[in-house]
Amino acid sequence: MVLPLARRDGGFKLLAYQDPQRRASKRQKDLLDIMRLVEAHPKLNKLLPAAVSKKLAE
Q: Position 25: which residue type? A: S
Per-residue pLDDT of the chain (58 residues; tens, 9 = 90+): 555 555 554 347 888 888 999 999 999 999 998 898 888 888 888 888 899 999 999 8
Q: Position 54: which residue type? A: K
Sign of the C-alpha dihedral, residues 37, 42, 46, 50?
positive
Give the model's pLDDT for residue 7.
55
Sequence spans of domains, the chain: 13-57
DSSP secondary structure string for all residues of the chain: ----PBPTTS-BHHHHHT-TTS-HHHHHHHHHHHHHHHHH-GGGGGGS-HHHHHHHH-
38: Cα within 13 Å, side-chain hemisphere: 21
Give the model's pLDDT for residue 27.
94
